[in-house]
Amino acid sequence: MASCDKAILNRLKRTEGQLRGIQKMIEEEKECVDVITQLSAVRSSVDHIMGLIVAENLKNCLENPEADADLQHKKIAQAVKLIVKK
């Protein structure tokens, strides 16, 4: 998951920058609608990051199955549950 890790970290850093920008907007008393728009963008970014992580873990689970079929099923079910939960 090394290349995926780098992409996820880059997305997290961008999201962190967006959050700092929102803090500055609040300090500068920017319009509520502008702050909410940016918060929505951050939420979307975090949802996307979560999807990437779950997808990568599910892919890994399918490519490298557990010897115990019940454990394999539980891991896949957990990944699907995380995806559906969104």
Domain containing 52: what range? 2-85
CA 43, CA 39: separation in Å to the nearest integer? 6
pLDDT at 22: 97
Q: Is the pLDDT of residue 81 over 90?
A: no
pLDDT digits (tens, 9 = 90+) for 6-16: 889 999 999 99
The structure's pTM equals 0.77
- Number of structural domains found in the chain: 1
Burial 43-78 (b: 16+ CB within 10 A, else e): eebeeebeeebbebbbeebeeeeeeeeeeeeebbee
pLDDT at 74: 87
**What is the domain-level CATH number for residue 50?**
1.20.58.1000
pLDDT digits (tens, 9 = 90+) for 18-74: 999 999 999 999 999 999 999 999 999 999 999 888 888 888 888 888 888 888 888
pLDDT at 3: 62
